Structure 1
Amino acid sequence: MSDTAHTPEHAPEAAPSATPDAAPSIEQQLAELQAKHAEVADAYLRAKAEAENVRRRAEDEISKARKFAVESFAESLLPVRDSLEAALATQAAKPDTPVETVLEGVQATLRQLASALERNKVLEINPAQGARFDPNLHQAISMVPADQEANTVVGVLQKGYSIADRILRPALVTVAAPK
């Protein structure tokens, strides 16, 4: 090691002397830190309040979405109800209405209902005879001997329905028994 490293020219600068003019007093430092703390605490409280407001608004929006989610669906079913009420009113006013006329009205109302369901993404599950049995879409009521491949649909007892890839009700089917 060289002696020059310890000479005063290369020595690190000494800390400034603790004169009242040069360095802030402990009281001044404390006051500055308290002011900074108050500022940070205020910012924290504001951020916390904002987060709480955002959470509350989100909960309100979710609540409204749940409450009014069926509004569109209900709106599309109103014409179906109107048609059924009109049919009952017509039948009450004219009891001798031919069965064919009533049947036409029922068929038209059924078409209205099918259209309303379709508009609201309620899809029918009605497997064709011979379709492969799918336990995710179908519920087997019984297995019957049939002249078709085992585990295929023989008949549909009740249609199923799904909405947005979720099964509301599986189709009730009979399935071909193994031979």
Structure 2
Amino acid sequence: MPIRYALPPDADVMAEITCATFAEFEDFDVTREQSAANWRRNLLGEAAERPRPHHTRIAELPDGTVIGLVMGGPADPALGLDAEIYALAVHPGHQGHGHGRALLKAVAADLCADGFGSLAIRVLAINKRARRFYTSLGGVLAGEVSPDEVFYAWPEIAALL
């Protein structure tokens, strides 16, 4: 499965994958159009506001169909770590085949090469599947971000490589 660097990624494709991934959660009420608009705004904002570039990778099938994405860069200082994964999603029909693991490792390698030493990722507290996934990759539950979110940490980003 090819994983490639994508800059700028296609907001419509990212919205489709994001909406499909989060559709299982009852209170996820963002439409595909809203998600695409959010992605466009966030991607432009990321490019303009971050002191270092963010890294985005996509996973695609041999026919070019995008089935997953990951984006990471400098962490929110409140997390106490160097880098953060802003988004990680794999289309539900393609989960469980190593795509998420490959995406996370690829962006971790990019971040490590840029000099980041530690990594965090936020996740909905009710997303048990993602929480098990991060734990299986050595992520440690590091705290609560809000009543609805927790975050996992890799104090040494190299542990993901």
User: What's the TM-score once normalised by structure 2's chain length?
Assistant: 0.25
Larger Rg belongs to: 1
User: What's the TM-score once normalised by structure 1's chain length?
Assistant: 0.23
